[in-house]
Amino acid sequence: MNKNWFAFLPNLISLGRLALVPVSVDMIASRRWPEALAVFLVAGISDALDGWVARRFDLRSELGAYLDAIADKALLICDFITLAIVEELPMALALLVVSRDLMIIGAVILSWLLDRPMEIHPLAISKVNTFAQIGLVAALLAALAFGWPRGLWAMAAEWAVAALTLASLAAYFRRWMTHMSV
């Protein structure tokens, strides 16, 4: 196998996941729940696969790290927004999830503009938050696809995601404030 082509395989998988974002949005917007769940699961499998390939064959790259993060965030943000628009998730929760990411990106950009560049590495709370967000979307899509009732579990999951999103934002904000010596 051509090593040069193979070296880009994890990035191709991430780009494929990014290409699934509009498909996922379309499936949710048209309320095609089994298809939306299938697309979300394929995206999740591709996320695990690109990471495994990169680690297993030592194909990690800076580009790959960015592509992976962009693909993950694009899918989650777009799915949260679309689920809120079709009134399957509270709009306030979708706005909170999106706002957290925008505030973190804004803080990083501001630190660059002020000539105090800051590297962002995922915090433990951020990983838990992302896992909870993925879990909520997957569970909600499964409930919609299979006609499972939503009730207390869905409300508890939404509140947990909101709390974790706020906790993650606070942790990043604290790190940024320390970095900026504010």
The pLDDT score that the predictor gives to residue 150 is 95
The pLDDT score that the predictor gives to residue 172 is 95
Amino acid, single-letter form, for residue 138: A
Does pLDDT of 116 surpass 90? yes
Does pLDDT of 2 surpass 80? no
The residues, any chain, with a CB within 8 Å of residue 171's CB and separated by 6 or more, are 123, 125, 126
Per-residue pLDDT, averaged over 63-92, amounts to 95
Fold of 3-180: Four Helix Bundle (Hemerythrin (Met), subunit A) (1.20.120)
pLDDT tens track for 118-141: 887 889 999 999 999 999 999 999
Which value, to the nearest 10 degrees, does the dihedral of the CA atoms of residues 86, 88, 90, 94 take? -70
The pLDDT score that the predictor gives to residue 111 is 95
Residue 74 in tokens:
């694009």
Largest CA distance in the chain: 53
Residue percentage of the chain with pLDDT more than 70: 98
Per-residue pLDDT, averaged over 11-32, amounts to 97
For residues 47 and 73, the answer to whether their CB atoms sit within 8 Å is: no
The domain ranges of the chain are 3-180
The pLDDT score that the predictor gives to residue 65 is 87
CB atoms within 10 A of CB 147: 7
Buried b (16+ CB within 10 A) or exposed e, 20-38: bbeebbebbeeeebebbbb
Does pLDDT of 3 surpass 70? no
The closest alpha carbon to 68, from 130, 142, 6, 11, belongs to 11
Residue 31 in tokens:
């309320």
Rg (CA), the chain: 18
Rounded-to-integer distance, Cα 24 and Cα 38, Å = 9
The pLDDT score that the predictor gives to residue 138 is 98
Total-model pTM: 0.92
The pLDDT score that the predictor gives to residue 88 is 98
Per-residue pLDDT, averaged over 5-19, amounts to 90
pLDDT tens track for 152-165: 999 999 999 999 99
Residue 3 in tokens:
């090593």
The pLDDT score that the predictor gives to residue 8 is 86
DSSP readout, 118-139?
------HHHHHHHHHHHHHHHH
From residue 181, how far is each of 100, 102, 140, 178 by CA, in Å? 21, 21, 41, 5
